[in-house]
Amino acid sequence: MELINQKVTHIRFGEGFIVNKTDNRISIHFSDPIGLKVFVFPDAFVQYLWMEDHNVQEYVINQYYQNQKEIEAEKQRQHQLQKEEEERQMAAEMASKATTRKAAALKRKALKRKT
């Protein structure tokens, strides 16, 4: 959805128009003396900004919730990867300890045979 030139209202700066948008930033021009301000997109629309067009506002809020779902999914994925890595490390440590115990047992057997 095209957001450039959409009219917005900020709780403190008043009315302005969107002049630029990137993936996670939005630039809004307010009347002087405020001028150009940059906000995190779409997060700022949850707290500070409102679109004049209700359909566009709904789109932006949906973008926010979609981003939140993606962030949560990524956190869960990272947590799962960390858990798997910890399990691999524990298995490697246990295997190393078992190998050390087997080597020590073989050494003891060999010493007993010599005597």
- Residues 43-63: tens digit of each pLDDT: 999 989 999 999 999 999 999
Q: Say which amino acid occupies 76.
A: Q
Residue 79's pLDDT is what? 94
- Rounded Cα gap, residues 58 and 109, in angstroms: 76
Residue 115's pLDDT is what? 63
Residue ranges per structural domain of the chain: 7-114
Residues 6+ apart with CB under 8 A from 6: 17, 18, 51, 52, 53, 56
Q: What is the Cβ-side half-sphere exposure of residue 53, based on CA atoms within 13 angstroms?
A: 13
